[in-house]
Structure formats: C-alpha cells, structure tokens
Amino acid sequence: MSGGELRPEGSSAIYPSLAGRKVIVSGGGSGIGEGIVEGFVRQGSAVAFVDVQEAPSEELVARLETAAIPPHFVHCDITDCDDYGHKIGKLIERLGGCDILINNAASDDRHKVEDVTSAYWDERMAVNLKHQFFAAKAVIPAMKAAGGGSIINLGSISWHLGLEDLTIYQTAKAAIEGLTRSLAREFGRDNIRVNTIIPGNVQTPRQMRWYTPEGEAEIVAAQCLDGRILPVDIAAMAMWLASDDARYCTAHNYWVDAGWR
Ligand SMILES: NC(=O)c1ccc[n+]([C@@H]2O[C@H](COP(=O)([O-])OP(=O)(O)OC[C@H]3O[C@@H](n4cnc5c(N)ncnc54)[C@H](O)[C@@H]3O)[C@@H](O)[C@H]2O)c1
C-alpha cells in the first residue's frame, strides 16, 4: 500500500513555501511516516528519513527515485539518542540545514500492567517519547540559523480515549502534548513552531495486525465520518502545518480522527 498516494489524482494541495525546504522524518519507512515522506517529496522538499526497517525504506526510496529531489534514507535506531543526534547532525550537513522535523517514529506494542518491568518501561519511553525531545534539540540550532522552522510531533488519540493494554504508550503520547507546548514557548521567539498531530485510527500495515475486519468496523462506527483514515490524510495535515500558510499556528494539537469518540 502506498502511504502517500494522492486521492483523487491531482487534487491535493501544493504549497509553494515547501519547495526546497529541508525535512527530516523519523520512522519514514512505513505507515504514516511513509505517507509523510512521499507527501513532502511531492512538494519538492528535500527529505531525509531514518528508520530501523531497511527493506521498506529502500523500496520507498526506489519508488521515488525520479522525483525532483529524491528522498535520502539512513538506517538508525532512534532509541539510541546519542547515535540519532549524531546522524541528525550528518543529515543537516547533507541537506544544508533543517527547516522541518517530523517526530513520527513510535511503537504501540500492547502490554499488561502486571508484566511491565523497569527495563520495559524505559525501552517503551525511549521509542515513544525520548527521541522526540533529542531530535528537536538536535535540529533547533539549524532552525535558528535559518530564521525559523516547524517541528511536528505525532501524538495519539489513544490516551484521550483511554484504550486497553497501552498504558506506557498512552503515557508517552500524553507527555508529547506537554513537550509540544513547552518547546513552542521556549523557541517561539526564534520563529520555530511546534505542534502535535493527533491521528485517530489510521489504516497502516502494522495497524492491520491489531484489528480484525470486525474491529475496524467498530472504529468506523465510533467515528462521525465513514471510511478509514489513510497515511495520506495525516501527511496532508503535516504539510499544511509545516507550510508558511500555518505561520501563526503553534503550541497546539491538530486532530485527524474522522471524529472518533
Ligand atoms: N496508525 C495509527 O492508527 C496511529 C494512531 C495514533 C497515533 N499514531 C502515531 O503516528 C505515528 C506513526 O504511526 P504508524 O501507525 O505509521 O506506525 P508504524 O509502526 O506503522 O510506523 C512507525 C515507523 O517507525 C519505525 N520505527 C519503530 N521503532 C523505531 C526505532 N527504534 N528506530 C527507528 N525507527 C523506528 C518503524 O520501523 C516504522 O517504519 C506514530 O507516532 C504513532 O504513535 C498512529
């Protein structure tokens, strides 16, 4: 499934302000991240992304190799924050700066509270929360030097709904909204905007592991709108938020959930 396919053909927005912008995406190899990488590439942005999954990431790069500026992939485990920070530094050198950071990588493994160890807590926080802070820290000097930037953190509707078997994931996702507001305040005078996108349930290859057709039907029944949200729908919000059209939008949550309650 292509995460960034335009629907219907040719009708999606092109933002002139995104052409040539330097974009770094975490977890860009599959799912929503893939849609975001593809979306920014279609805008004519210079996109670099990191992921632990080599095969889908390389397939994505191959699929987009004829783009005006093809994306660049680097293998990286974002839970090793020192290595990730070092790789972000190299990507900034390669791109010649960083205007847009999309903190997308995460892992929504299910767990029972009684099975959680201290080590598991730390590992889940590392994959779902810690890297967002350190990636922001790593790009902020380049954004300041460029006169501004846009940081977009992927949150989640899950903790707003209070879903089962996701306690640590939901705790991390709740914290991301606080991180967003804190960074937006800290760096607003540098013209760095920081926002959270809150997806509802988005149909990705990984999500299909968790949901049966009956489970998907239950989600759609709880939405206000019919149909399944796709990565392209989250990418559309990310591109608008990153564009100059959203220049006075910061410190807030932007929901793409089809009205799921
Ligand atoms: N899909 C949904 O329904 C949904 C709902 C709410 C929030 N979200 C959020 O949206 C974002 C993307 O979700 P998704 O469904 O596409 O997730 P996904 O699991 O399909 O994709 C996440 C990507 O991150 C990568 N990744 C995971 N661990 C990594 C690591 N240690 N180092 C580097 N890369 C790593 C994965 O390989 C994958 O390519 C996440 O932040 C997620 O929490 C998704």
Structural domains of the chain in order of their starting residue, each with its CATH number: 16-201+230-256 (3.40.50.720)
Ligand 1 pocket residue status of 35, Cβ below 6 Å: no
Ligand 1 pocket residue status of 127, Cβ below 6 Å: yes
Q: DSSP secondary-structure letter at 229?
A: B
Crossing angle of helices 118-125 and 167-187, in 10° steps, is 40
- The pLDDT value given to residue 207: 80
For ligand 1, mutation pick of 1, 51, 158 (most atoms within 8 Å of CB): 51
Q: Does the annotation mark 211 as catalytic?
A: no
User: Per the residue annotation, which of 15, 84, 169, 254 is the catalytic one?
Assistant: 169
- Complete DSSP assignment for 101-160: EEE---------GGG--HHHHHHHHIIIIIHHHHHHHHHHHHHHHHT-EEEEEE--SHHH
- Distance from first CA to last CA of the chain, Å, rounded? 27
Ligand 1 pocket residue status of 219, Cβ below 6 Å: no
Average pLDDT, the chain: 95
Ligand 1 pocket residue status of 257, Cβ below 6 Å: no
Cβ neighbours of residue 78 closer than 8 Å, sequence gap 6 or more: 26, 27, 50, 52, 84, 105, 127, 131, 135
- The pLDDT value given to residue 29: 98
* Mean pLDDT value across residues 236-260: 98
- The pLDDT value given to residue 4: 41
User: Is the entire prediction scored with pTM above 0.75?
Assistant: yes
State phi, psi for 59 to the nearest 5 degrees. Answer: -60, -40
Q: Are 260 and 201 in contact (CB under 8 A)?
A: yes
**Residue 5 pLDDT > 50:** no
Ligand 1, atom 32, lies closest to the CA of 77
- The pLDDT value given to residue 6: 46
